[in-house]
Amino acid sequence: MPLIQPVDLIAPQAAGPVHFVAVGGAGMSGIAAMYDAVGVPVSGCDQADSPVLDELRALDIDVCVGHDLSHLEGVRTVVVSTAIRDSNVELVEARRRGLRVWHRSAALGALMLGKNAVAVSGTHGKTTTSAMVACLMTDLGVDPSFVVGAPVTATGTSYHLGQGDVFVIEADESDGSFLQYPADISVVTNVEADHLDNWLTPENYAAGFLAFAERARAVVIGGDDPGARALVEPLRRAGVQVVVAGSDPDADVRIDGLRDDGGHASATLVTAQDAGPLALAVPGVHNVRNAAVAYAVGVLLGHGHEGERMRAALSAFTGTHRRFETVAEASGVRIVDDYAHHPTELRATLTAARDVVGDGRVVACFQPHLFTRTRDFADDFGQALALADEVVVLDVYPAREDPIPGVTGELVAVAAARRLPGHVRYVAGLDDAPATLAEMIQSGDLVLTLGAGNVTTVGPKLASMLGDR
């Protein structure tokens, strides 16, 4: 899959009517709804029906199941996601007819035109951080527009078309589409090698973040991450305003006394104008770092004089879907689902789980995501999973990729078992995971289902089994 190349943008109204292929995707449905809300004629299709399509139908958006050339009648712009292959019949026909074809990032970028736009990126934490910024601006009365990577717990939606001039988005680096967005303020939470199927080398990947950040008038950097911190001097030499949020004494937003006691993460945030405590409702010291970055965005947007109010808003943030989200509690066992799919994310989530569970055990059920990532990071995944007490590893969730010979989830299980002998099981079949976990767990355990695929189905099934038991 090649990296997405930026294109020239026009206002959404000038692009319509617009047809969205795979409109039921998490990243596409919200954009389609926002186009409809600004008066653009919208249609869409997906390969299968879903509750998301029902939600779009409730907005009187014309959505269909299946792909057919008739969907293109009267359309001027066709929007596709990275998941859509070049062989898709609607995409092939749109190109043959000379219709405008936009990646979803271009459709989103067009909505950002003329707004005070904030684009949040990073290898980890971009969904939580962009949601924190959106919720912070909402609590400050700005009524921002936002499109983030998962539904915000407080609102149940991943998008909102606000009346204010601030527009917050999560900017995906995996396919290079973060270079498309016309951002005034960019955020880089961290930079650590990933998505090498697209970027090929860690150096290319890091250079992509520099190109992303250079496009903005101001950039917030997660100062506790070496990869993000390496961007500071090149950006300053390029004349970009840089605000660093981190633990270093010279950070613009300094984090003091960082700690996580029993799943309650807290610190003191210090700036030249303000200093005060921050106590989060979400666990993990990594989330304090995310909150400090969000606070720095608030300062850049002109709210630095409202430090106490910003800290209160961040303290009230309750998370997003699939970020340490409690699925159920049954038979004395807490089941939590998390999107972690990179070794660093696993370490952060498992560390937070250890703080939450107290004297209980941490039981991790991990589904590797993508064959290439499994191949590249199998040993690192094993090392991270060894932070748990008991581990179940599933087979690879392929997503957009074709299989790679010899690459299965067993590579990760073997790597974990070297560090945690006798406490790691490889379960190739997803449907077998709930029963395997039910046999292992005991009262007081915290069970984590981890990954970016369909491992989400395991937790509810496990809870049902425990309830029956």
Helix/strand/coil for 280:
coil
**Residue 28 and residue 44 in contact, taking contact as beta carbons nearer than 8 Å:** yes
For 200, phi then psi, to 5°, come to 75, -45
Catalytic residue among 127, 138, 351, 456: 127
Token pair, residue 311, equals 């800290």
Using the structure block, give the residue that is written with the tokens 């249609």.
Answer: 43
In 3D, which of 321, 265, 315, 322 has the Cα closest to residue 295?
A: 315
Q: What share of the chain is helix, strand, coil (3-state, %, to 5)?
A: 40, 25, 35
Token pair, residue 318, equals 């309750």
Catalytic residue among 77, 123, 129, 170: 170
Query: For residues 335-364, b (16+ Cβ closer than 10 Å) or e, as one string?
Result: bbbbbbbbbbbbbbbbbbbbbbbeebbbbb
Distances (CA, A) of 260 to 17, 263, 356: 50, 6, 9
* 461 carries an active-site annotation: no
* Rg, C-alpha atoms of the chain: 22
DSSP 8-state secondary structure symbol assigned to residue 298:
H
* 126 carries an active-site annotation: yes
Query: For residues 434-461, b (16+ Cβ closer than 10 Å) or e, as one string?
Result: bebbbebbeeebbbbbbbbbebbebbeb
Catalytic residue among 82, 115, 123, 126: 126
In 3D, which of 147, 117, 115, 143 has the Cα closest to residue 131?
A: 147
**Residue 255 and residue 247 in contact, taking contact as beta carbons nearer than 8 Å:** yes
Provide the 10 A C-beta neighbour count for residue 274.
Answer: 17
Using the structure block, give the residue that is written with the tokens 């990933």.
Answer: 194
In 3D, which of 116, 154, 124, 118 has the Cα closest to residue 290?
A: 124
* 123 carries an active-site annotation: no
Provide the 10 A C-beta neighbour count for residue 10.
Answer: 14
Enumerate the active-site residues.
126-127, 170
